[in-house]
Each structure stands twice: as C-alpha cells, then as structure tokens.
Amino acid sequence: MMDLFPLFSAATTGGTAGAGLDYWIVAFSAITVIVTIWMGFRSAKTSKTAGDFFVAGRSVSVGWNASAISGEYLSAASFMGIAGMVMSSGYDALWYPVCYACGYLFLLLFIAGPLRRFGAYTIPDFAEGRFDSPLFRKIAVCFVLFIGFFYTMPQMKGAGTTLAYIFPGLPYWAGVVVVGAVITVNVALGGMKGITLVQAFQYWAKMFAISVPIFVLMAFYGHYGKQLSLNATAPQAAVQTIEGRKPLPEKAPNDATWISPFGRLTTKAAAAAGLSPEEQKPYSLLYTYSLIVAIVCGTAGLPHILVRFYTNPDGVAAKKTTMWVMILIGVFYVFPPVFGALGRNLLPELYLAAGAKGTDKVVLELPRLLNERVPGLGSILSGVTCAGAFAAFMSTFSGLLVSMTGALAHDVYGRMLRPKSTAEQRMRAFKVAAVVIGAVAIVLGTRVEQFEINFMVGQAFAIAAASYFPLLFMSAWWRGMTMKGAATGMLTGGLLALLGISLTSFSDMKWIDLAEFWKANPLLRILCEQPAIWTVPLAITLMIVVSKLTRKEIPADIRMKMLVLHAPEQLGLKQEYIQEHQHGH
C-alpha cells in the first residue's frame, strides 16, 4: 500500500496494540477537548442570570434542542460501552442500544408534553408543584444524586480507558482525575447555556466519529453481515480458525453463545450456579425482560435528560423534539454493535485483558488496524474515534454535573437552606456545588475499572426506572395520587433497586462476600442485579394503594393542575394557574 502520510508513518507503523504515543490520536483528542472548553467559556460570557444557567432561558429551538439532548444522552456507554459489550457478550448486549433508543418512545408518549406544560426547572420542582409539598421536593432531590452518581461512574471509566489508550503507561485513575477536573471547571464556569451549544455540536461530532471509521473499516474488512456470518450458530469448540478472522482465545465466548440470544450476559448467574444450558434458559429470559423494563422505563426517568424538556418553548415543541431525538440516536445506535462484531473477528486479543485494557476500548483501537493496509489512515481514524469518546464522556458528564449541581444549588441551597439568598449567592452556590460533586464523582470513578461501562449505565437506568419513572408517569396521568402515595412508591422502589444493585456490585468488587450465596440462589442474584422487573410494578402498586388510603390529601386544585399538564398552551391555563397560586400563598 502507498504511504499516504510519510511524515507520520514513523510513528504509526509500529504495529497496532501496545505501540507508543500516536500523534494523530493525541491531536484529534486535544482539539475536541479545547473546542469543548472554548465553547463553554465563550458562552459563559453570554449567560448572566440564574435562569440562564438552569434552563438556557427556555429559548432553544427544536433542532438545537434535539441535537443537544442526543448529544447529552450519547454517553461513554453508547459510544464505547455498547461496542465493548457486544464484543464480550454478543447478541444479548443488543438490547441495550435498542432500549436506549426506544425508551424515548415512552418519554414521548406519556411524559414529555405534560412535563413541559407544567413548567418547572427540575424534577424536584415538578414533585413539589404537583403535590404542593416542599417535603416531597427534598425526597425527590435525593434521587437526582443517586442516579447521577451511578451514571457518572461509567463516564469516568470511559475517560480513564481512553486516556490509558492514548497515553500507554498512564494509570487508569490518572485519566479519571484529569478529565473529571477539566469538566468540573468547565461546568462551574459555563452553566447550561454553554452546555446546550456544546452538546448539540457534540452530537454531530459523535455521529461523525462512530460512522466514518466503521464505513472505512467495512470497506477494507467486509461489511456488517459478512462479519456476523463468520460466527456459526451451530455449537462447536471454543478455539476456531476461520478465514477472515484471527483465532479466538480460550477466554472468548464461542460462536454459538455469542451470536445467539441467551448468551453470556444473561446466563451468568445461572451458569455460576452450575445449571445445565437448558435449565439456564428460563433465567436468561427473566434477565432479558428485566433489562428491557429497566432501560425502557429508565430513559423516561433520567433527571439530566428531563431537565432539557423545559428548554422547549411549549408542549408541542417538546414532543417534536423527542421525535427528532429518537431519529438522531436511533441512527447512531446502529453503528456501535458493528464495532463489536468487527472487534471479535479482528481484535480478539482484547478478550484476554481486563478493566481499562479490555473490550471497552474496541472502538478506540479497532480503526488502528487500518495502518496495516494504509499507513497513517488507521491512526487518523483511531484519533477520530478517540475524539468521539471524549465528546461522549465529556458531554454526558457535564450534563449530569449540571443537573446534580442544579439540584444542590437550586433545591438544597436555594429552597431549603437559604430561601432568601440573592441571585448572586445562588450563582456562587452553583459553582461550589459543581466542584464538590465533581470531586465525589472522580473518587467514585477511580473505583470501578473492573465493570463494563455499558453495564454500569444500565444499573443507573434501573434505579431511575423504579423511582422517577413511576412518579412522573403516575403523577401526569392519575389525579388520585397523593404526596404520601408518590413518596412511598418512589422511595421503596428506588431504594430497593439501589440496594439490590449495590449488593451485586459490592460483591463483585469483593467488598462483601456473597459469591456462595449467589451460587445457591441464582434467581435472587438476577433479581438483585436487574431489579426493574419487580421494583417498577412494586413502586406503581404502592403509589396506588397508599394514595387510595390517603385519598383525603389529594391536592384541592387537582383539576386545575391536570388541566395545566394536559391542555394545549393556547388556552392560557398556565398563566392563570400561576396567578391563582400566587394569591394562594
């Protein structure tokens, strides 16, 4: 092959994995980081009031907002994690991208319009307004932080993995600290108005970064279908030598379990219990359903995504935005599994490594193989995917940080601690809160190297599914809800999900020893690891039962509240509601 880039070939012909510093990759990543920070600082100058910081002055158009929501939503899990998990677990991992995208349908059908019409900055605002209860706000705020921290951990793993790939030899934790610190400063200075622009730009950066390298790779190594066709569905030995791919190491799942449903991911607990493959299947089905419930319902309960709906001018715009988000992210989600399928055939050595060196980095490393065919090209495309990864974890981490910081500054400080604080004091509180939360997220991030990025995000969704989703869904559509009912359901469902997930994570981290218990009780292991299938119905049931018991406490102006949630804006009910409310207090 012709050497396209002779200047850089010296640095890039050193082979694929384990080579030294690659300047193309460093350059692309540095540009992404600098542009992101520059945009944040530039827009910091134009956002002055506290309202600007929280919801961007509510003046964002459908196109911008849809790109921004997609940009924020496509996290390290989508960009790196799905590909890594498809490579490590095969078919079962496909449920993640599909449900990540389809969860938006639930958001669109049941929540986006009413939530925007009600008009509030955050979910705790909604919780308080819907039930006229400042106490409920305090309860609701907790989950912004619970879900947020669970969601930031995988972003931090993405950061650590990417930096360890770009700078071979750099320890995982150092990457986490550097990226975490940079974003924290950026958020503390820029606020959300900056983030809207940055997020929208980053969606398109990620889309470019995931699609272009995969098309080039497919042009050289064969298309998606061909890559899958190399994996036989008939059971056979683990080590295979097939033309068009490298031999699989012992540790890799064999073809049949990889390409067929009910593979490694969903049968893990039952396999550990020593059940036969036939006996494992029902457990596997249960795991699959629980995963589906967690992600579809969880999407509709993510605090950092929901806060964006308030930046739409009205309920119709909120619905239109949601539809565009589904299209933007749906197109994106076709690509990461292709990386997983190609990675299995071309980069099987990743199966041998763990943590930051494992399959989670397939998106970063795979394009580099092209250096064998066209020296230089592989490095450039690997630089592109690294830039995309930066865009992914930076944008999601910023979004989470804004909403967690908003919860602390706006809810805890502005409403609970110092209700009479001035706008200036609140701005300062916002900055302090950003630094505190950023620091906690960094510390947590350094602890989770062993977990798959995508798996951790799935856990955050499961907590959202059992807490915010029932709250939002039931509050928007059932007027019989009382504050006590909502709080009981949300707390019980959410905390049980949190407990189950923490138990399995802590035992996997060897902080507590439950391995024998899980072996004896594979069913309990699945119900703890993927709790949505029982926590979501439990939360909704509790909401109904407790609300019926406390029916006297239904807010007096419930009809008006429901009208505000559901009637089109043209009827002017919102202004009326605000006036009445001001008289009432």
Mask of contacts with other proteins, 390-429, x by CB under 8 A? ----------------------------------------
| Distance of closest approach, residue 383 Cβ to other proteins, in angstroms | 27
Give the interface segment with other proteins, choosing from 56-64, 254-262, 426-434, 529-537 (CB under 8 A): 254-262
Q: Coil, strand or helix: which one is 585?
A: coil
Give the interface segment with other proteins, choosing from 97-105, 197-205, 432-440, 519-527 (CB under 8 A): 97-105
| Distance of closest approach, residue 39 Cβ to other proteins, in angstroms | 30
- Take residue 267 and report the two structure tokens written for it: 């049968």
- Take residue 173 and report the two structure tokens written for it: 């934790």
| Distance of closest approach, residue 75 Cβ to other proteins, in angstroms | 18
In this structure, are residues 33 and 386 in contact, taking their beta carbons and an 8 Å threshold? no
Select the residue interacting with other proteins from 15, 63, 235, 572 (CB under 8 A): 572
Select the residue interacting with other proteins from 9, 13, 240, 260 (CB under 8 A): 260
Give the interface segment with other proteins, choosing from 15-23, 304-312, 323-331, 346-354 (CB under 8 A): 323-331
| Distance of closest approach, residue 319 Cβ to other proteins, in angstroms | 6
Select the residue interacting with other proteins from 54, 143, 262, 310 (CB under 8 A): 262
Select the residue interacting with other proteins from 477, 524, 534, 541 (CB under 8 A): 477
In this structure, are residues 228 and 245 in contact, taking their beta carbons and an 8 Å threshold? no
Q: Verify binding: residue 233, other proteins, rule CB under 8 A.
A: yes
Tell me the C-alpha distance between 102 and 327, whole Å. Answer: 10
Give the interface segment with other proteins, choosing from 133-141, 195-203, 316-324, 348-356 (CB under 8 A): 316-324
| Distance of closest approach, residue 33 Cβ to other proteins, in angstroms | 31
CA 339 vs CA 63, 78, 247, 343, 476: distances in Å? 28, 12, 18, 6, 40
CA 156 vs CA 25, 177, 182, 329, 515: distances in Å? 20, 9, 12, 22, 27
Mask of contacts with other proteins, 200-229, x by CB under 8 A? -----------------------xxxxxxx
Tell me the C-alpha distance between 459 and 81, whole Å. Answer: 13
| Distance of closest approach, residue 309 Cβ to other proteins, in angstroms | 15
Give the interface segment with other proteins, choosing from 13-21, 332-340, 401-409, 546-554 (CB under 8 A): 332-340
In this structure, are residues 534 and 492 in contact, taking their beta carbons and an 8 Å threshold? no
CB neighbour class for 313 (10 Å; exposed up to 12, middle 13-18, buried from 19): middle
Closest by CA to 27, choosing from 365, 382, 340, 285, is 382
CB neighbour class for 375 (10 Å; exposed up to 12, middle 13-18, buried from 19): buried
Q: Verify binding: residue 236, other proteins, rule CB under 8 A.
A: no
- Take residue 42 and report the two structure tokens written for it: 């530039």
Select the residue interacting with other proteins from 3, 49, 244, 580 (CB under 8 A): 580
- Take residue 583 and report the two structure tokens written for it: 């008289």
Q: Which amino acid is at 177?
A: V
| Distance of closest approach, residue 288 Cβ to other proteins, in angstroms | 5
Give the interface segment with other proteins, choosing from 172-180, 192-200, 320-328, 458-466 (CB under 8 A): 320-328
Q: Verify binding: residue 559, other proteins, rule CB under 8 A.
A: yes
CA 166 vs CA 18, 25, 105, 170, 175: distances in Å? 10, 7, 37, 9, 10
- Pick the closer one to other proteins by CB: 173 or 333: 333
Q: Verify binding: residue 313, other proteins, rule CB under 8 A.
A: no
CA dihedral 239, 243, 246, 250 (to 10 degrees): 0
Tell me the C-alpha distance between 483 and 584, whole Å. Answer: 19
Q: Verify binding: residue 540, other proteins, rule CB under 8 A.
A: no
Q: Which amino acid is at 273?
A: A
Q: Verify binding: residue 323, other proteins, rule CB under 8 A.
A: yes
| Distance of closest approach, residue 46 Cβ to other proteins, in angstroms | 32
DSSP 77: I
Tell me the C-alpha distance between 85 and 184, whole Å. Answer: 28
Select the residue interacting with other proteins from 5, 23, 289, 534 (CB under 8 A): 289
Number of residues that bind other proteins (CB under 8 A): 60
| Distance of closest approach, residue 494 Cβ to other proteins, in angstroms | 23
Residue given tokens 């497919």 in the structure block: 218
Residues 6 or more apart whose CB falls under 8 angstroms from that of 30 comprise: none
Select the residue interacting with other proteins from 1, 109, 352, 520 (CB under 8 A): 109
Q: Verify binding: residue 261, other proteins, rule CB under 8 A.
A: yes
In this structure, are residues 413 and 475 in contact, taking their beta carbons and an 8 Å threshold? no
Tell me the C-alpha distance between 110 and 108, whole Å. Answer: 6
Tell me the C-alpha distance between 456 and 396, whole Å. Answer: 14
Q: Verify binding: residue 41, other proteins, rule CB under 8 A.
A: no
| Distance of closest approach, residue 69 Cβ to other proteins, in angstroms | 14
| Distance of closest approach, residue 559 Cβ to other proteins, in angstroms | 6
- Pick the closer one to other proteins by CB: 263 or 375: 263
Select the residue interacting with other proteins from 326, 400, 407, 526 (CB under 8 A): 326
Q: Verify binding: residue 570, other proteins, rule CB under 8 A.
A: yes
Give the interface segment with other proteins, choosing from 107-115, 412-420, 492-500, 547-555 (CB under 8 A): 107-115
Q: Verify binding: residue 45, other proteins, rule CB under 8 A.
A: no
Q: Coil, strand or helix: which one is 80?
A: helix
Tell me the C-alpha distance between 434 and 116, whole Å. Answer: 25
Contacts with other proteins, residue ranges (CB under 8 A): 91, 94-95, 97-99, 101-102, 104-106, 108-110, 113, 223-229, 233, 259-262, 281, 285, 288-289, 292, 296, 316, 319-320, 322-323, 326-327, 330-331, 333-334, 337, 477, 559-560, 562-563, 566-568, 570-573, 576, 579-580
